[in-house]
């Protein structure tokens, strides 16, 4: 069964805070849930589906109690890291299409500055953690291999950060608002060769939420709606060490989303692509079919990602590289900025003219080891 057009996003809210030591995860959860529902013109009492991987006690049960969600008929706590919320959107649309729920609340909330790390319960833990792998190092492995295979350069990766910073200057809530140059990216300290500090995402507190509803509920709401046109998801793992670091799970999730939506790359007006590191963006652009494999470095040159006139306007809120990366998971903010673009509500200098179709892509885990990818195609209500 296709979920194309079976559910619509009617509310979206991004927490304006970035560093909030006085807030608990529960409080942040309430903040973003109420914000998204208010944006939709709905109340907590309307919600009958809850989707979140936020670590709030006994998962969705604790969240339901804390928020007073007394009408829940559907719970989903799927955890695939930064891509979780895109999976949740697809799962919520399927649940709505099957009549399992009508008003789905999808939530991210967390404290990015809290200590975190791999769980000892993971089957790979004892084989990898004794050797001290770090998140930047794993992404650096992918970057170095891509450079070896295709001649990608640090200067090309830096162009991605430059585009993010160009956009962030217009976002009053962005953690990093200053524009940077390629030279400044390359002059920042190496974190894990070849990745510099400015190739890495920010770490923030906060969160965001979206509300998805059935077409029947949407008809009675005045807020401008965004339709889910296509969805794809896929894991990619280390294959017992026989891993190709030059591609991501987007090679599978992307085509599935495009096929369901019935659109091609040339139809995409705006893209939200997960930017945990600059290499993440470059590989995903290739894997999603916007250019040939190995040509991502050339693709991002000459302001290609800068809105509104680049060939692929991208992450116009500043993305994880400059704006917000709540709880070390950025998929939710990618959905929210795509909704803003489709509603015509992005920051004015960066609003894509006649934005009708947007792509959202999330990455969870590490492109240097094991990960999960999820892709959404969103469109205006009449698309």
Residue 86 clears pLDDT 80, i.e. is over it:
yes
Tokens of 255: 């085509």
Q: What is the mean pLDDT of residues 335-339?
A: 98
Q: What tens digit of pLDDT does each residue of 137-172 get?
A: 999 999 999 999 999 999 999 999 999 999 999 999
Percentage of residues of the chain with pLDDT beyond 90: 86
Q: What is the mean pLDDT of residues 18-25?
A: 92
Task: List strands edge to edge, sheet with 8-14.
Answer: 74-76, 49-52, 103-111, 205-213, 8-14, 226-236, 371-380, 357-365, 270-273
pLDDT (0 to 100) of residue 138: 92
pLDDT (0 to 100) of residue 56: 75
Domain limits, the chain: 8-115+205-228, 125-203+230-380
pLDDT (0 to 100) of residue 299: 98
Contacts of 132 (CB under 8 A, 6+ apart): none
d(CA 244, CA 6): 36
Percentage of residues of the chain with pLDDT beyond 70: 96
Contact 49, 73 (CB under 8 A): yes
Residue 115 clears pLDDT 70, i.e. is over it:
no
Domain 8-115+205-228 and domain 125-203+230-380, same fold? Reply is yes
Query: pLDDT grade, residue 1 (50/70/90)?
Result: confident
pLDDT (0 to 100) of residue 361: 98
Residue 366 clears pLDDT 60, i.e. is over it:
yes
d(CA 184, CA 95): 47
Question: Average pLDDT, whole number, for the chain?
Answer: 94
Query: pLDDT grade, residue 113 (50/70/90)?
Result: low
Q: What is the mean pLDDT of residues 183-209?
A: 97
Query: pLDDT grade, residue 106 (50/70/90)?
Result: very high
Higher-confidence residue: 113 or 96? 96
pLDDT (0 to 100) of residue 132: 75
Q: What architecture (CATH level 2) is domain 125-203+230-380?
A: 3-Layer(aba) Sandwich (3.40)
Q: What is the mean pLDDT of residues 327-348?
A: 96
CATH topology of domain 8-115+205-228: Peroxisomal Thiolase; Chain A, domain 1 (3.40.47)
């Amino acid at each position: 069964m296709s979920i194309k057009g079976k559910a619509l996003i009617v509310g979206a809210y991004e927490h304006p805070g970035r560093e909030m030591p006085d807030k608990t995860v529960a409080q942040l959860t309430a903040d973003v849930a109420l914000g998204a529902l208010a944006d939709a013109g709905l109340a907590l009492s309307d919600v009958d589906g809850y989707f979140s991987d936020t670590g709030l006690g006994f998962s969705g049960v604790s969240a339901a109690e804390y928020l007073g969600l007394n009408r829940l008929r559907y719970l989903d706590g799927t955890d695939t890291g930064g891509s979780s919320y895109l999976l949740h959107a697809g799962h919520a649309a399927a649940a709505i299409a099957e009549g399992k729920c009508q008003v789905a609340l999808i939530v991210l909330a967390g404290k990015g500055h809290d200590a975190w790390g791999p769980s000892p319960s993971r089957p790979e833990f004892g084989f990898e953690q004794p050797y001290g792998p770090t998140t930047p190092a794993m992404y650096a492995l992918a970057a170095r291999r891509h450079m070896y295979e295709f001649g990608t350069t640090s200067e090309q990766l830096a162009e991605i950060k430059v585009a993010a910073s160009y956009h962030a200057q217009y976002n009053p809530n962005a953690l990093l608002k200053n524009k940077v140059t390629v030279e400044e990216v390359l002059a920042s300290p190496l974190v894990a060769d070849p990745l510099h500090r400015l190739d890495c995402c920010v770490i923030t507190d906060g969160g965001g939420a979206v509300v998805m509803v059935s077409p029947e509920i949407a008809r009675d709401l005045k807020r401008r709606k965004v339709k889910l046109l296509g969805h794809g998801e896929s894991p990619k793992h280390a294959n017992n060490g026989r891993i190709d670091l030059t591609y991501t799970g987007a090679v599978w999730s992307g085509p599935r989303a495009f096929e369901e939506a019935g659109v091609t790359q040339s139809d995409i007006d705006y893209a939200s692509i997960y930017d945990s590191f600059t290499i993440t963006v470059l590989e995903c652009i290739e894997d999603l079919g916007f250019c040939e494999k190995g040509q991502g470095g050339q693709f991002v040159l000459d302001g290609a990602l800068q809105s509104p006139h680049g060939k692929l306007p991208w992450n116009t809120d500043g993305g994880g590289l400059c704006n917000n990366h709540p709880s070390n998971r950025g998929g939710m903010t990618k959905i929210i900025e795509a909704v803003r673009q489709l509603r015509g509500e992005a920051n004015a200098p960066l609003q894509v003219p006649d934005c009708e179709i947007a792509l959202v892509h999330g990455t969870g885990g590490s492109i240097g080891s094991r990960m999960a990818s999820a892709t959404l195609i969103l469109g205006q209500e009449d698309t």
